[in-house]
Structure 1
Amino acid sequence: MPPTIFYTATTLNGFLADDDDSLDWLFAVPGGEGGDSDFQDFLAGIGVLVQGSSTYEWVLRHEDLVAHPEKWPAYYGARPTFVFTRRELPTVPGADIRFVQGEVRDAWGRIREAAGDRDVWIVGGGDLAGQFADAGLLDEIVVSVAPATLTSGKPLLPRDLGADTLTLTRVRQAGAFAELTYAVAERPS
């Protein structure tokens, strides 16, 4: 079965977003908009995306996607996107967005089916990735550490995961970023 991957960027001190769920800090870093060849190779292997409501809402606002749905493919292509939310949210016209509520394990069958034989990308946020880890459904974490800090914000992964769970498998420099890849073992009971 292809892996479920939490692929994200973080500040040097471990925040995904600021207190207002903004990623403006990321786009201020040279290369922060993504798009290097390794990222493009990663994206080519993705069959489905999963994100929380805060991530989804930020992308909608940042790119004004409801008014400009033609921008959606530049982010995610035609891949199905599952958005975990407890609220009713706007959809991007023409995009394959599937809103789900409840536990990640309850939606897992639909997510895997939509991915086919390709990988699942947990886009964000950190708590959602943590829910996948809690359910034993997270296989890998790829985190690009930016040369930036925030005084507060949304944490990278608000869970206790130790060396018995995470194994470093790759380190590379990607422009101004340090990219770290960890295999995630099933958490001990």
Structure 2
Amino acid sequence: MTRTQYYVAASIDGFIADSAGKLDWLFQFNDTEGVTAHYEAFMKEVGPLAMGAATYEFILNENHPWPYADRPTWVFTHRKLPAIPGANLRFTTEDVGAVHAQMVEAAAGKNIWLIGGGHLVAQFVQRGLLDEIHLGLIPVVLGGGIPLLPAALTSPLELTGLTRFARGMVELRYAIPRPTR
């Protein structure tokens, strides 16, 4: 069954980027033992991706080859953005609810990764489309920046997993409760 997942890293005070939109604080942990293997295991289960324009532009500005192979990627944007040659991109202005159905079909049983952009993820949350949060907690305090998720999830989340890494890093996996009817 396809799950829609927010796989993200945040400082312990809840920010996914610093106040300048930078990730240097996170990149210093890239070589932490076990992190690469953990990410690769996650990616084996991922089909389509969704990201906002700011995340897409961040990836463009890194000047590296497209890191997501041929996975279909929806970029939610209201402005014209350059395409990356060889990437399977779909630029859209549509509502996440309409696009989510297309993503589930494209997933063919794999999971959907909502990559970066708490505001985009908040739209999925508000429509009841988020199934899991994979939250990597990075042992730094930024004191401000881009928030993890600017949406309310007031029902208790179900902790489904915890992975410890060296250097004080942990990943918490939460299932999002579904309203009972």
- Indicate whether the TM-score tops 0.5: yes
The amino acid across from 1:77 in the alignment is A
| Misfit runs of 4+, over 3 Å | none
Q: Indicate conservation of the 8 Å contact 1:5/1:140, yes or no.
A: yes
Of 164, 167, 175 in structure 1, the residue corresponding to residue 158 of structure 2 is 167
Counterpart contact for 1:83–1:99, Cα < 8 Å:
yes
Report if aligned partners of 1:78, 1:96 keep a CA contact under 8 Å in 2. Answer: yes
Q: Distance in 1 between matches of 2:99 and 2:76?
A: 9
When residues 50 and 26 of structure 1 are mapped into structure 2, their CA distance, relative to the original with a 3 A threshold, is: same
What's the CA shift string for 1:149-180, capped at 9, x where partnerless? 21211100111212x24111111112331100
TM-score, normalised relative to structure 1? 0.87
Aligned positions of 1:170-185 closer than 5 A: 170-176=161-167, 177-185=169-177
Distance 1:28 1:38 in 2: 17
1:35–1:48 Cα change, 3 Å: farther
Per the TM alignment, residue 20 of structure 1 is displaced from its structure 2 partner at its CA by 2.8
Q: Percent identity?
A: 39
Kept in 1: contact 2:2–2:104 (CA 8 A): no
Per the TM alignment, residue 187 of structure 1 is displaced from its structure 2 partner at its CA by 5.0
Q: Out of 83, 100, 117, which is 2:92 matched to?
A: 100
Q: Is residue 149 of structure 1 aligned with residue 149 of structure 2?
A: no
Structure 1, unmatched stretches of 5+, are: 66-70
Cα deviation, residue 111, structure 1: 1.3
Across the aligned residues of Structure 1 and Structure 2, the Cα RMSD in angstroms comes to 1.9
Larger deviation: 91-100 or 169-178?
169-178
Question: Which structure 2 residue ranges, 5 or more long, are not aligned?
Answer: none
- In the alignment, the residues of structure 2 paired with residue 188 and residue 99 of structure 1 have an alpha-carbon distance, to the nearest angstrom, of 34
Query: What do residues 96-138 of structure 1 show as CA deviations (whole Å, max 9, x unaligned)?
Result: 1111113200212221122111100001111111111111110
Q: Which amino acid aligns with 1:152?
A: G
